[in-house]
Structure 1
């Protein structure tokens, strides 16, 4: 029975692992420190949105045996419309992945700062942080040699251990049940809108939608496997969502007044780990950052090469040039002297804003009988899908207005 189940274990855990990274730790901790349990509802919404959208993307991959960009190229008949649609996808993926990569590298550097100082140096009137460049070179070297699987597995193990510590800490803290449940009542204000969108962006990772469809098409070849695809997604995302909620809950338990450095993030783990807390979290953040720094450019490269019809094998030149460009953009953004916590939060905010753009194409494809046949969306799936699209669009627009208003002050 166990052998039969592992045979059908799919890419769901990769989807969950993608949002249990430095961005999740930073943004969820910030939400807990700044707003207490108030934004637990945003994480619940994010988990539901992830399950719904990832299931649609995976279903498209399973039925068509293609990734989302290949389906778009094949099914949009008008060249001008096809060019605009693929251009929007490429722009969203490049922008989102570059921002996400900058957050990943900053998270890895933040972990290293426990052990090594990361001083910014003055350059042409600005400031340059050398550590992200060195970390980016490590990730690039692992990608180019292709020999990173064992290291990646070890680091994922460290991230899983870090996740368990957050879960244990949250339970051991015995949060008041009534107050905890009150956090699932939606509340949107000008002072929390940016954090809400960042929480959505750190959970519903846009490039994951495209990566997932491609991986499912390679893993399963028969529509009868749809039940396994759904179970795989449901279990993985629920567990990942519980970890995110645990991080938010532990963020409320420390004495930190704001989150800027790793000692602020680790404040809530001190009751369980004592003086070892910053070092443990430093190792966990570095592992999560490096692992995500490898997977994010790979996912972005896969999507972009698929959009252009290029060879997307890891050793192919188009793939190498593409993931190298995304990694380089991430290194540049991470090296500009912006505080790591601010950069990570901005990366998740960018993801949340881009989500409605990418989900539009998924909803269009999954409702086309020519593409999906009997497996197109039913009424309930459409109600959930369009509700999520509308909510994320409204929140994304409100967050943009909030940023503009803050800049004008």
Structure 2
């Protein structure tokens, strides 16, 4: 009875991890899952399953750092490692979330244009203004609530479709064997799926959302339950439902990551809702994009405010101004060339490239006796190392295939970005090993 009462109390107080889950369950993840199923059948089921577990683990590591330090991640990095490391983390996060902002805004504008017949550029301006005014003034909740209702309907439609479509269970079971289909598409889609769950924006923002709720180390059990219910359970069901339906209904080896459109992807819901599939899917994609925009817009302002010593609240005009700038800057996404559906997958893959560095920082600080006096369990450290290794290997496979496909300005930028963060991660590892061999805890003076 006591355990039931505790669970009931936890359910009533959940929150921060669900915000991360809402962003993770955005249009880019939906696009990656549908593209994976359509192009490769059940072959990538293993990474769909793995992504939910690793996503929960990354949130747990970030949660542990946030609760035990009771501070934002950027301020902890600056205090323990110095300003340069803090700025590198801010730059990494801003680049990843900035690209996501542009592509998600393009998605919202294009889908709004398809539904209404009005120009996408007009919709981009409208949504940019709604974001700026709503998030800076606190009036965005109604739009986001409506968007979440639409997302929930589409997720339920995918889950219900599992009862209608003939999932080939033996074939699906073979997809649990790890392996990435050869070529750029296979690596891109695998990186997109994993990047949807283990993304630098989700890792960095978690400490701030917990602080906004006033959580401290006293809420450790609640925060752990929050992650398990949102990322492991809810996000896991979301991912499996979409992937299995897409793999069963849409699988066609001729489908490429760059060729699948939202209209074609909508046919995954055909067996359940028939001729209404296109509009239901587009509305769900639109809702996911609107909901994700709200969470993504506050990420750069949170980190900048923490780095520059601002209040992370709209009562501070500097923070409010950063939100407005971020929201309005997203309007430029409507001018990004190409179809938004494949661009969404590429966005997550790019974000995954910057994620191992952020995870390495979190793990380093968790083992810094002055930052976190409580010893980190061995199992947590092992899980963290595995998480960094899996994200790095998946991101590396994506980069290798991109480079093999030829150089262009975007590929060159992503490669330089990856090299810079890879060098920083290796330097951080060397610093950690040196300090442990010396028998000292990491200190600011040793890394500044």
Change (3 A) 1:162 1:189: closer
How far apart are 1:137 and its partner, in Å? 3.0
Is the Cα contact below 8 Å between 1:133 and 1:335 reproduced in 2?
A: no
- Unaligned stretches of 5+ in structure 1? 77-81, 121-128
Q: Does 1:91 align with 2:96?
A: no
Residues 253/134 of structure 1: CA separation in 2 closer, same or farther (3 Å cut): farther
Aligned partner of 1:407 in structure 2 is 406
Tell whether 2:238 aligns with 1:243. yes
Map 1:341-356 onto structure 2 (within 5 A). Answer: 341-356=341-356
Aligned to 2:32: 27
Report which stretch shifted further, 105-114 or 356-365.
105-114
Cα deviation digits, residues 14-54 of structure 1 (max 9, x gap):
12111111111111111111011111111222222211111
User: Hey, what does 2:295 align to over in structure 1?
Assistant: 295
Q: 3-state SS of the aligned residue for 1:172?
A: coil
Q: Which residue of 2 aligns with 1:393?
A: 392
Residue 146 of structure 1, aligned match among 116, 138, 161:
138
Q: Which deviates more from structure 2 when the two are superposed, residues 85-94 or residues 309-318?
A: 309-318
Specify the alignment match of 1:42 in structure 2: 47
Does 2:306 match 1:306?
yes
**CA deviation profile, 1:84-137 (whole Å, cap 9, x unmatched):** 2112111111111111112322332343244234768xxxxxxxx554344333
Residues 264 and 12 from structure 1, CA distance in 2 versus in 1: closer, same or farther, beyond 3 angstroms?
same
- Number of aligned residue pairs: 395
Q: Would you say 1:67 and 2:59 are equivalent positions?
A: no
**Contact (CA 8 Å) 1:114, 1:262: kept in 2 or not?**
no
Q: Name the residue aligned to 2:220.
A: 226
CA RMSD of aligned residues (A): 2.2
Return the alpha-carbon distance in structure 1 between the equivalents of residues 8 and 241 of structure 2: 31
- Return 21-30 or 168-177, whichever deviates more: 168-177
The answer for the alignment partner of 1:53 in structure 2 is 58
| Structure 2 Cα separation of the partners of residues 98 and 334 of structure 1 | 14
Separation in 2, partners of 1:221, 1:37? 40
> Secondary structure at 2:287's aligned position in 1?
helix
| Alpha carbons 1:110, 1:285 under 8 Å: kept | no
Aligned counterparts of 2:251 and 2:98: Cα–Cα separation in 1? 30
Q: Which of the numbers 9, 15, 21 marks the counterpart of 2:14?
A: 9
- List per-residue Cα deviations over 1:270-293 (Å, max 9, x = no partner): 111111111112221222111211
Alignment TM-score, normalising by the size of structure 1: 0.90
Question: Map of 1:364-375 to 2, 5 A cutoff?
Answer: 364-374=364-374
For residues 307 and 178 of structure 1, the distance between their equivalents in structure 2, rounded to whole angstroms, comes to 51
Kept after mapping to 2: 8 A contact 1:334/1:343:
no
Distance 1:282 1:14 in 2: 22
Residues 217-244 of structure 1: per-residue CA shift (max 9 Å, x gap): 3435553421221111012112212211
Preserved CA contact (<8 Å) 1:93 1:300? yes
Change (3 A) 1:41 1:162: same
2:158, 2:245 within 8 Å by CA — same for their partners in 1?
Answer: yes
Judge conservation of contact 2:44–2:180 (CA < 8 Å) in 1. Answer: no
Q: Larger deviation: 167-176 or 286-295?
A: 167-176
Tell me what 1:360 maps to: 360
| 2:339 match | 339
Give the Cα separation in 2 of the matches to 1:256 and 1:196: 16
Indicate the residue corresponding to 2:103 in structure 1.
103
Distance of 2:215 and 2:270 partners within structure 1: 48
The whole-number CA distance in structure 1 between the counterparts of 2:350 and 2:222 is 32
Query: How far apart in 2 are the matches of 1:96 and 1:389?
Result: 17
- Once the two structures are overlaid, the 10-residue window that deviates more, 256-265 or 312-321, is 256-265
Deviations 1:342-377 (A, max 9, x none): 321221111111111211111111111222222x32
CA distance in structure 2 between the partners assigned to 1:333 and 1:154 by the alignment: 23
Unaligned runs of 5+ in 2: 409-448
Structure 2 CA distance for partners of 1:23 and 1:367, relative to 1, 3 Å: same
- Kindly tell me: are residues 256 and 134 of structure 1, through their superposed partners in 2, closer, same or farther at Cα, counting changes over 3 Å? farther
The one-character-per-residue Cα deviations of 1:174-228 (angstroms, maximum 9, x if unpaired) are 3122111211111024421111111111122311212211222343555342122
Q: CA deviation at 1:302?
A: 0.7
Aligned equivalents of 2:9 and 2:16: distance in 1?
A: 16
TM-score (norm 2): 0.82
